[in-house]
Amino acid sequence: MLLRFTKMHGLGNDFVVIDGVSQGVTMTPELARKLGDRRFGIGCDQILLVEPPTTHDVDFRYRIFNQDGSEVEQCGNGARCFAKFVRDRHLTGKSDIRVETASGIITLHVRRNNLIEVNMGVPVLEPEKIPFLADHRQTRYPIEVLGQQLLVGAVSMGNPHVVLNVESTATAPVDTLGPALEGHALFPNRVNVGFMEVLNRHEINLRVYERGAGETLACGTGACAAAVAGQLQDLIDSTVTVNLPGGSLEVSWSGEGEPVIMTGSATTVFHGRIRI
């Protein structure tokens, strides 16, 4: 069987996007690993699958698979690529698109300047819902890793994130602390790890070690989680520019109980077919 796909990226966070509406496809961990392999497959950070909705009040179902085959709840950069894909492939003509994900419904808005605004939903701060094993909610939590005592923020943006403040993202120990925190026993479902450098109240630098993918050039949910953690610590204002290795995003959050709004670009690289 030949499977049609599109290669896309959001600030260098790259995806294989598959139309599961007009062609039949059953995504398995084995197939996801094959597609995501950068030497023997297409190569990507994650595979995005567009499916018909399962409820009447949304336009599509959106599923996300890491290159290691694991299925995850949410991906902000992927959501922007999703919106561009369904418009470019004429699966919808809407500018406002409601999408069903494993973590709930998100709304995507395609602007005239080709930027895509994503309502990422209300951040989850209660430890047991992140999930994170802590006795009670705090702005920053003490955690021991690799013999170090750290203070970290913890947020779920539909997927779990831990945010560590660093003096410089250029010298942050992403390669060592990233995997150590990702698989830490206090995070039952593993965790995405953000390394945040606050430049001023309107701008931060960020590197993210993604669960199941390693460090990526950009992470939309990680940018949102960092913005929330920074606001809760009174380090940044309600709208912030998040500089990632692959480019910048704008993230706005009005405070507890309100959704996080992320705005950025999405780029199509090429279309192709692969035999599976």
Amino acid at 273: R
pLDDT in the model for residue 31 = 97
DSSP percent split of the chain into helix, strand, coil, nearest 5? 15, 40, 40
- Residue ranges of domains in the chain: 2-119+265-275, 127-258
Supply the residues annotated as catalytic. 75, 219
User: Which residue numbers in the chain have pLDDT < 50?
Assistant: none
Mean pLDDT of the chain: 96
Give tens-digit pLDDT for 223-238.
999 999 999 999 999 9
pTM, two decimal places: 0.88
Selecting from 3.40.50.1000, 3.30.565.10, 3.20.20.10, 3.10.310.10, what CATH number does the domain 2-119+265-275 have? 3.10.310.10
For 127-258, CATH number out of 3.40.50.2300, 3.10.310.10, 3.40.50.720, 3.40.30.10 equals 3.10.310.10
The answer to the question of whether 67 is labelled as a binding residue is: no
The CA-atom distances, in angstroms, between 132 and each of 84, 129, 160, 222 are: 34, 7, 8, 16
Domains 2-119+265-275 and 127-258 share a fold: yes
Is 149 annotated as belonging to a binding site?
no
The beta strand positions in 214-266, using DSSP E, are 214-216, 239-244, 247-253, 260-264
66 is in an annotated binding site: yes
* 77 annotated as a binding-site residue: yes
